[in-house]
Chain A
Amino acid sequence: MNTVGQDLDLIQARLHDGGTVWTRAELLNWYNDGYYQLCWQSGAIRRLQFYDLPPRFAYTHTFEWETQFTQHGPSRCIGWSFHDRTYRCTSYWEVSLITGHVPAASLPGITQDWERSHVDAVDQHYTFALPHNFDLLLDARWNNRPLNGISVREMDEADDAWMRRVGEPWWYSTGTGRNDTVEIFQIKTDYQQAYSAIGYDSYGFPRLLSGDRTYEVSSSVRQADYTYTASGDVPNPLNGFGWRFTYPSTVTSKMCVHQWEQQWLDGLTMTDSPTSGRGTQGWESQHGIAVTEFGVGFMRGLTSPDRQYLGYGQGLELYDYYGGVRSFSSSDNALEILVAQVPTTTLAEDDYPLLLPEQTQKYLRHFVWSRAFGRQGPAMIPKLSAHYRTRFIGGVMFMKELTNAAAADSVKVKDSAAGNGSSRPPYVRLPANFESTW
């Protein structure tokens, strides 16, 4: 795959320009535009996202201007404005009180949805934050079961308290929340926590997994590259993973190979040593000697015969596939969504447009040429611009088709006009003479 800079070199060569007519920064901007457009228009980048219940937001706030300080994290405005936005309230009775009326009936106000587990019902809707790079919500599931999309009007007409009705989730809607949010109904107010990363804010990556399941470590780094005996060997010129195999005595300055030696020197009760001896190098295992094996580094993957641990990136898509595991989620008793994503980072010249296959980089070049030849000023050639625009659109159509990787293997047949079912349960149909009959 070319870096963005290498692609810009190819683009400049075709423009016969070294930055005089079209600056490098200008081309880079267009390249980023093309990257976004190709991902967005094709909808080809699809990822799963899982949510523990109740929903969580990194920030809640009462005024819109506060969102600028939420660092692009999931945030929720819990304040309702009234009196020409002079006031903000979180409960209905506040409006009545300030306007000098009898306080309206209100339910408790909350700022985070986990508080629902401590109150009976609230007036806030049950809202989840969609990913920052979210473009289109394709699918939603609760506990592996599909949820049906529904409009707010249908819910309003069906139930006067649908927004706080507790029970099994059946529906999802993006109708009432703000942008980048989705709501589900019925709601779950108790905790449905799959994994809890304890101390993640202080200690970095998880080092230990515990719970109802049994976890074992499997490491590709099993043996030391070299061994050494004392702290005097460190620092040393050797590369790789070293293991100090000695037990230092706390009473004397001696280094011991076996633990009983150190215990004897320190005046402690001696324990047995391995009867096969103590190995210091990996090859000694060929002679029946137990060699210490190591699991080092971060957790890179999880496997199980009972379920799949599927790695997915969160945040900056450029680095989705690097680094360590930061959090764990589950599809059991959780909300799962499938979304189409768009890039949210601006590529620099040393970056790669990693969300797309490398072979589609030619369409990004077409996009840049389309913009360059279409720009008002020197070397504006509308016909060339239009042609490259057509090529780019061809690339979008191609990526859109590729979104279904199995499209070439699907057999298409004509369906009856009435269709053979949908994901929505049918409406109740009453006879045309319903009222007169009854």
Chain B
Amino acid sequence: MNRSDLTTRVLIELGESSTAPVFWDTDEVHTILQDAQESMAEAIGGIKRTAMLSLEAGAMFYPLRAIAPDLLRITRIWSPSRDMRLTSVTRDQLDRHHELWRTVTGSPENYLSMGYDWIGVWPVPATSGILLRIDYTAWPRTLDSDSDWPEFLEADHETLVRYGVYDGLMKRWDVEQAEAAFQEYEFRVGLGHSRSGTDKAKARNWQKGSAPASSFRSNVRTP
């Protein structure tokens, strides 16, 4: 669905005329759809981007807004020159690993978050020009025209409509119906998160049990 379709759907669901709405203007619906996109991106992480960062010798910290203004969550950092993924660590881990880790220079192998808007790389780059490829989930861009469409999967576009309906009902101060619509939106968000594939960038931290007494046999053959 493009922006025009989404706007029409929301207005019809709210019992309004899609061509000449009385209690709404289309700009208002567009604002709600943008809120819907942002809320979905925060929950689903379905908009994926890649940015490049060129490191400077001696510089450990980098502001995320300068790397990509739409950066929401980092999902992976890859070093193309060394063909390796940088491992996310914490300050505490580095403190335990090396007391003076702040003074160690070399080719970065780890990165750490210093807050929502800046990261550090470690070891501190010894030379300038080392490239990092940063994969991230992004905040959505504003839809520019009626023919523009959201970047989320088509199956998630209905979720945007649900949010629009919810917010429209909130405008009417009809909280009972609005909360029901919001629950439907949240249910769809859960499905969207599974569909988005953002978790596939991570390691699986669970697996089926292989103990002898478990309900499925292991594939290990014993003599």
Which residues of A are interface residues toward B (Cβ below 8 A)? 10, 13-14, 44-47, 139, 141, 144-146, 303-308, 310, 331, 338, 357, 359, 362, 381, 383-384, 387, 398-399, 402-413, 421, 423
- Residues of chain B lying within 8 A (CB to CB) of residue A402: 72-73, 116
Q: Across the interface, do A405 and B173 meet the contact criterion of CB distance under 8 Å?
A: no
Contact partners of A407 in chain B: CB under 8 A: 73, 113
Q: Does the CB pair A411–B205 fall under 8 Å?
A: yes
A405 to B111, CA, bound (A): 10
Known: A308-B60, A308-B61. A338 touches B173 (CB 8 A): no
Tell whether, in the assembled complex, residue A144 and residue B175 are in contact, meaning their CB atoms are under 8 Å apart.
Answer: no
Query: Which of B38, B71, B115, B178 makes the CB contact (< 8 A) with A403?
Result: B115
Q: Say whether B195 faces chain A, with CB atoms less than 8 Å apart.
A: no
B102 touches A331 (CB 8 A): yes
Q: List 26 A-B contacts (CB under 8 A).
A: A14-B170, A45-B115, A47-B115, A139-B91, A144-B102, A146-B99, A305-B128, A306-B57, A308-B56, A308-B61, A331-B102, A359-B38, A359-B42, A359-B139, A362-B35, A381-B175, A383-B176, A403-B116, A404-B113, A405-B113, A405-B115, A405-B118, A408-B74, A408-B201, A408-B202, A411-B205
Contact of B114 among A46, A383, A408 (CB under 8 A): A46
Residues on the B chain within 8 Å of A362, using CB: 35, 38-39
**How far apart are A7's CB and chain B's nearest CB, in angstroms?**
11
Contact A307 to B58, CB < 8 A, known contacts A144-B102, A399-B116, A406-B88: yes
Interface flags for B116-128 (1: CB within 8 Å of A; 0: not) read 1111000010001
**A411 touching B203 by the CB < 8 A rule?**
yes
Across the interface, do B76 and A409 meet the contact criterion of CB distance under 8 Å?
A: yes
Q: B73 contacts A405, CB within 8 Å?
A: yes
Flag whether B198 is at the interface (Cβ < 8 A).
Answer: yes
Report how far A413 CA is from B202 CA in the complex, Å. 13
State how many angstroms separate the Cβ of A314 from the closest Cβ of chain B: 17
B179–A387 contact, CB under 8 A?
Answer: yes
Complex Cα distance, B207 from A413, in Å, reads 13
Least CB distance, B165 to chain A, in whole angstroms:
15
Contacts of B14 in A (CB 8 A): none
Tell me the bound Cα distance from A406 to B91 in angstroms.
Answer: 12
CA distance A146 to B93 in the complex (A): 12
- Contact, CB under 8 Å: A146 / B73: no
A305 near B76 with CB under 8 A, answer no
Residues of A within 8 A of B137 (CB): 408
CB contact between A405 and one of B74, B91, B175, B205 (< 8 Å): that residue: B74
In the complex the two chains form, is A146's CB within 8 Å of B95's CB?
A: yes
Shortest Cβ gap from B71 to chain A (Å)? 8
Pick from B57, B71, B203: contact of A305, CB under 8 Å: B57
Knowing A305-B57, A402-B116, A403-B115 touch, does A14 contact B171 (C-beta < 8 A)?
A: yes
Q: Which residues of A contact B59 (CB under 8 A)?
A: 303, 308
Let me know if B31 is at the binding interface, CB within 8 A. Answer: yes
Q: Which of A303, A305, A306, A409 contacts B201 (CB 8 A)?
A: A409
Q: Which residue of A lies closest to B128 (CB)?
A: A305
Contact indicator A423/B96 (Cβ below 8 Å): yes
| A405 & B116 in contact (Cβ 8 Å cutoff) | yes
Q: Which residue of A lies closest to B75 (CB)?
A: A408
Decide yes or no: A304 and B58 within 8 Å by CB, A141-B102, A407-B113, A408-B74 being known contacts.
yes
Please judge, given known A-B contacts A359-B139, A362-B38, A403-B115, whether A145 and B202 are in contact too, CB under 8 Å. Answer: no
Bound form: Cα–Cα A120–B77 in Å: 52
Q: Are A308 and B116 in contact (CB under 8 A)?
A: no
Q: Per-residue 0/1 for B53-70: is the Cβ within 8 Å of any A Cβ (1 yes, 0 no)?
A: 000111111001000000
| B contact residues vs A (CB 8 Å cutoff) | 28, 31, 35, 38-39, 42, 45, 56-61, 64, 71-77, 88, 91-92, 95-96, 99-100, 102-103, 111-119, 124, 128, 137, 139, 170-171, 173, 175-176, 178-179, 198, 201-203, 205
Cβ contact within 8 Å between A145 and B74: no
Q: Which residue of A lies closest to B57 (CB)?
A: A305
In the complex, what residue of chain A is closest to B102 when comparing beta carbons? A144
**How many angstroms from the CA of A218 to the CA of B215 in the assembled complex?**
69
Cα(A398)–Cα(B173), bound, Å: 25
User: Complex: how many Å from CA A342 to CA B197?
Assistant: 35
The CA-CA distance from A145 to B116 in the complex, in Å, is 24
**Nearest-CB residue, chain A, relative to B72:** A402
List, in ascending order, chain A residues with CB within 8 A of B178's CB: 387
- Give the residue name and chain of the B residue nearest to A10 (CB): B31
**Which residue on A lies nearest to B199, using beta carbons?**
A408
- Top-3 shortest CB links A-B: A46-B115, A305-B57, A406-B88
Report Cα–Cα, A343/B211, bound state, in Å: 54
For the complex formed, measure the closest distance between the CB of B29 and the CB atoms of chain A, giving whole angstroms.
Answer: 13
| Residues on B with beta carbons closer than 8 Å to the beta carbon of A331 | 102
- From residue B169, how far is it (CB to closest CB) to chain A in Å? 11
User: What CA separation (Å) do A13 and B25 show in the bound complex?
Assistant: 12
Contact (Cβ within 8 A) B171 A406 = no
Q: Known contacts being A310-B61, A398-B42, is A412 close to B205, with CB within 8 Å?
A: yes
Given A45-B115, A398-B42, A408-B75, decide whether A423 and B205 contact each other with a Cβ distance below 8 A: no
A303 to B57 alpha-carbon distance, docked (Å): 9
Bound together, the chains give a CA A331 to CA B120 distance in angstroms of 15
The residues of A that contact B99 with a CB separation of less than 8 Å are 145-146
Closest B residue by C-beta to A408? B73
CA distance A406 to B76 in the complex (A): 8
- Least CB separation from B110: chain A residue: A406
- The docked-state distance in angstroms from the alpha carbon of A141 to that of B99 is 10
Known: A383-B175, A409-B76. 10 other contacts (CB 8 A): A45-B116, A306-B58, A308-B59, A357-B116, A384-B175, A402-B116, A405-B117, A406-B119, A408-B202, A412-B205
**Which B residues are CB-close (under 8 A) to A10?**
31
Q: How far is the CB of A298 from chain B (nearest CB, A)?
A: 20
Q: Assess the A308–B171 pair: CB atoms within 8 A.
A: no
Q: Which residues of B have CB within 8 Å of A304?
A: 58
Could you tell me the distance in whole angstroms from the C-beta of B192 to the nearest C-beta in chain A? 16
